[in-house]
A and B are shown apart, each in its own frame.
Chain A
Amino acid sequence: MLALPVLWLGVVYVGSLLALLVQSFFSIDEFTGVIQYEFTLKTYLELLRPSNLDIIIRTVTMATVVTVAAVVIAFPIAYYATRYARGKWKAFFYIAVMMPLWSSYLVKVYAWKLILAKEGIINWIFIKMHLTSVLEFLLAVPVIGGNSLSVSYIGTCLVFLYVWLPFMILPIQAALERVPSNVIEASYDLGATPRQTFFRVIFPLAMPGVIAGSIFTFSLTLGDYIIPQIVGSSRLFLGQAVYLHQGTAGNIPLAAAFSVVPIFIMGCYLWLAKRAGAFDAI
C-alpha cells in the first residue's frame, strides 16, 4: 500500500534532491564555462565570497524580521480566535485565516504591487492625511529605504509578511486550543494576574505553535525568488541567486551549492524544532 507514494516521494523527490546535492560538489571551469565532473569543495568556498555571503546574510535577516513581525501580528488573532470567539465567530475566524492562506500567491503579490506603487493607495492615504513627510522620512532611511515603497526593503518585508502571515496564525491557534482551561484556571486560583498568566503559562505552552509557524515563514522567505524580484531593490536574495545561477549564468554547481544553504538552515531549524516538540502543532 505504501509502495506507490513512497516510490513517488522517495524516487522522484529525494532522488532529485540528491542529484542536486551531488552537483554542488562539481565545479565550473571559469574560462570555458564547462562543468567539471570531479569532486571538489571549490564551489562551496565560492559561497564565502563577500558578495555571496552578503546575499545569505541579507536573506536570513529578512527571514528573521518577517518571522518576528508575523508572530507579533498573528498572536493576537490566534489568541482571540481561541479564547473569545465562539460558535459562528469561530467559523468566521477560521475562514478569515484559511481564505488568504489558500488564495493565489501571485494575485497577493500583484495586489501589493498595486498598493505600493507610487501612484497607489498608500501614497494616496499619506497625501490625504497630510503625512507625506513621514513617508519620505521612512524612505530616506539608509538600507531599508529607497525611491519608492515598491523598490525598498520595507516593501519587500511587507509583502513577505502579508503572504506568509496565515502560515503563522494557524499553528499558533492549534497550539493555543490545546492549552487546557484548567491550567489557566489554576494559574488564576494561585493568584497570578492576567499578565502573569499570559507570560508564564499561556505563552510558553503556545511556543510549539510559534516554532511551527516560524518553520513556514522562515523556510518560505529563504526560498522565495519572486517577491524580491517584483517588489524590492535590485540587490539579490538567496532564491534569486539560485535562479540566476541555474538559468542565464548556467552555473549549476554554484546554484546547487546556494540551494544547499536553505536546506542546511532548515535542517538545523527542524532538528531544534523537533526537540521542542513543535511537530505536534502543525
Chain B
Amino acid sequence: MQSSAKTGASIGLKFSVLAGLLFLHLPVLLIFLYAFTTEEKSYQFPPPGLTFKWLAVTWGRQDVWEALGLSLKVASIAAIIGVLLGALCAAAISRSRFFGREVISLLVILPIALPGIVTGIALRSAFSLAEIPFSFWTIILGHATFCVVVVYNNAIARFRRTHGSLIEASMDLGANSFQTLRYVILPNIATALVAGGMLAFALSFDEVIVTTFTSGQQTTLPIWMLEELVRPRQRPVTNVVAMVVVLVTFLPILGAYYLIREDESDRNTR
C-alpha cells in the first residue's frame, strides 16, 4: 500500500473526505454557539446577540440538577455492572472453546443488533408481566444490558492480544489461579476494562430509547431533553444543557481512546 500512497489521493477523494468530515462535525459545534444566543423564542441564525445569562439561569434550575444527578448515578452503576459481566463473558469466550460458544457470542451481540425500541418494549412488557414496579433499578436493568456488550467488545480485543502462553508461564512458575488473575491477567486487561467502562458510562448517560420504557415517572437528563425537544418550552436552557451533555460525554470518550489505541492499531494492522 505504501507504493500507491506515494502517488497521493485525487482531488475528488480529498474533497469528499473533507465534506464528509465537515458533515460529521459542524452540527454539534453549532450547539456551542446557540448556548450563548440572546434569542429565546426561535432557532434564529445567525444569533442576534451573545450572552452568558443562560449559563447562570441553567445553574439555578433544580429540575436540571435532579435529572443530571439521576443520570450520573444510573450511568455509574450500569457501567460497573457492565465491566463485571462484560469482562467475565470476554474471558470465557476468548479462553476456551465449548459447546454453545457461538450462541453466547451471538447473545452478546443481540442487544446492539436489534433496535433499541425492541429491547425497551421487551423489558417493559416483562416488567408488567412480572409485576415489577418501575424504579431506579429497572432503569439499571435496561442500561446494564447494553453496557455488557460495550465492555465485552473492548475486553475481547485485548484478550486476543494477550498471549495464552503468559498465563501458562504464570501457572508453570507456581502461581495459583487467583495469583495469575491478580498479577498477570488483570494488569493486562485493566486499561481495556476501564476504557470499556468509560464508553459504557457515556452510552448510558446518553441513553433515551430504552430508558423511556423502563423509567416510569423518573426523569434522567436525556428524558428531560427529549421532553424539551418534543415540546420546546425553554429553548435557551435546553441549549445550555445540550452543551453540558456534549462536554460530559466528551471526556470519557477521549480518555477511552487513549487507553485502547494500541488495541485499535493492533486490530488495524492485523
Contact = CB atoms under 8 A, between A and B. Distances in A.
Contacts of A165: 20, 23-24
A178 B270 contact: yes
B148 A17 contact: no
A11 to B, nearest CB: 10
B4 A95 contact: no
A139 to B, nearest CB: 18
Interface in B162-216: 199, 202-203, 206, 208-209
A120 interface: yes
B99 to A, nearest CB: 12
Contact of A19 (B104, B129, B208): B129
B145 interface: yes
B56 interface: no
A226 B209 contact: yes
Chain B facing A: main interface SS? helix
B91 interface: yes
B229 A223 contact: no
Interface residues of B, number: 86
Given A9-B148, A117-B43, A109 B229 contact: yes
A107 B13 contact: no
Contacts of B264: 94
B260 to A, nearest CB: 10
Contact of B209 (A184, A194, A224): A224
A102 B249 contact: yes
Chain A facing B: main interface SS? helix
B75 to A, nearest CB: 12
Interface string A54-97: 00000000000000000001101101100110100011001111
B28 A111 contact: yes
B13 A79 contact: yes
A1 B268 CA distance: 30
Interface size class of A (residues with CB under 8 A): 35 or more
Contacts of A282: 109
Contacts of A248: none
Contacts of A100: 24-25, 28
A223 B119 CA distance: 10
B82 to A, nearest CB: 10
Contacts of A8: 85, 144-145, 148
List the 9 shortest-distance A-B pairs measured between CB atoms, nearest first. A223-B115, A16-B126, A16-B122, A181-B1, A117-B43, A5-B89, A5-B85, A111-B27, A76-B16
20 contacts: A1-B91, A6-B89, A9-B110, A17-B122, A19-B125, A20-B121, A83-B4, A84-B8, A102-B202, A103-B28, A103-B253, A106-B208, A114-B31, A174-B267, A177-B270, A220-B115, A220-B116, A226-B209, A259-B117, A262-B115
Given A5-B148, A100-B25, A121-B45, 6 more contacts: A98-B253, A111-B31, A119-B44, A177-B269, A181-B2, A246-B125
